[in-house]
Amino acid sequence: MSDQLTIRRPDDWHLHLRDGAMLQGVLPETTRHFARAIIMPNLVPPVVTLADARAYHGRIMAALPPGAEFEPLMTLYLTENTDPGDVAAAHASGLVKAVKLYPAGATTNSASGVSNLDAVRPVLERMAEIGLPLCVHGEVTDPSVDIFDREAVFIDRVLDPLRRAVPGLRVVMEHITTADGVEYARSGGDDLGATITTHHLMINRNHMLVGGIRPHYYCLPVVKRARHQRALRAAATSGEARFFLGTDSAPHNDPAKESACGCAGVFSATNTMSCLAYVFEEEGALERLEAFASLNGPAFYGLPPNEARITMTRGQPVDYPAKIETGAGPVTVFDPGHPLLWAVSDAPV
């Protein structure tokens, strides 16, 4: 086995950057390795209109580290008051690459999300017409449904009926966490894709709960049983074009995570590529890492793959920082629980 791997520069198809001091603190962790990222719109207030997206894009560009080559791919937050005309204008502008559906109350800053899908049908139909993808947080919020079952129930109750009602709508099942999600993604055609996170490939619910609660492993959708983790690994390393990387890297400062009611989110931007190399090597599929991290996502979104390359070298354990210091407080970096032997060259070529 070679100790060096060169791939096209990767993209992140699901990223939280937040805003203000937190944005300035965490953005360099993504731009170091990634060329582009789909930027989540769940700010307070959310990024709902084209004007909002332009303003947020400007703040991200202003926060770029000197010399960084990075393109933020903007999204709009779908609400029951979203204007189909504004969505079409956002798509035509070239700035906005997707619209995000949060079921109301499903995750961080989702209170403005959708409770009644019929109310957003005109928006979804316009999106199907123009080819603008819908990114879906796939969980029901029904309190009677167990948190570990909410993805599977969402597929049955919401996602499949939605796709049947709006044929031709391009949908990304974001951060799938179950064998059910993998199976459903495989049942769709070219208009259905699925992102998989770094942390869901590396941990399951035992890592979060056995021997004490580890708040920095708590995320939404929550990590599931080991059998679901195995299904995700098989999907990610399969080379199938429908599966691609979306880290869902989501920074919260440590006091917000380490509290009586800690926030959901795992911050993995710093060490994702080393983590992925660990997983793909363990699964005997290093030759498919480029497809998952660098090729499949651009193909789904109709964008060219990056021309620049990064080189990863296998050697001594990489010394990643335990925390990133930001103006909004310290943010703990995802702990994979294993030494990471694949280092990424800092400068793409």
Catalytic residue ranges = 248
Angle, CA of 343, 36 and 114, to the nearest 5°: 120
Other CB atoms closer than 10 Å to residue 205's CB: what's the count? 16
Gyration radius from the chain CA atoms: 19
Dihedral of the CA atoms 62, 63, 67, 73 (nearest 10)? -80
- Cα–Cα distance measured from residue 124 to residue 181, given in angstroms and rounded to the nearest whole number: 22
- Cα–Cα distance measured from residue 286 to residue 279, given in angstroms and rounded to the nearest whole number: 9
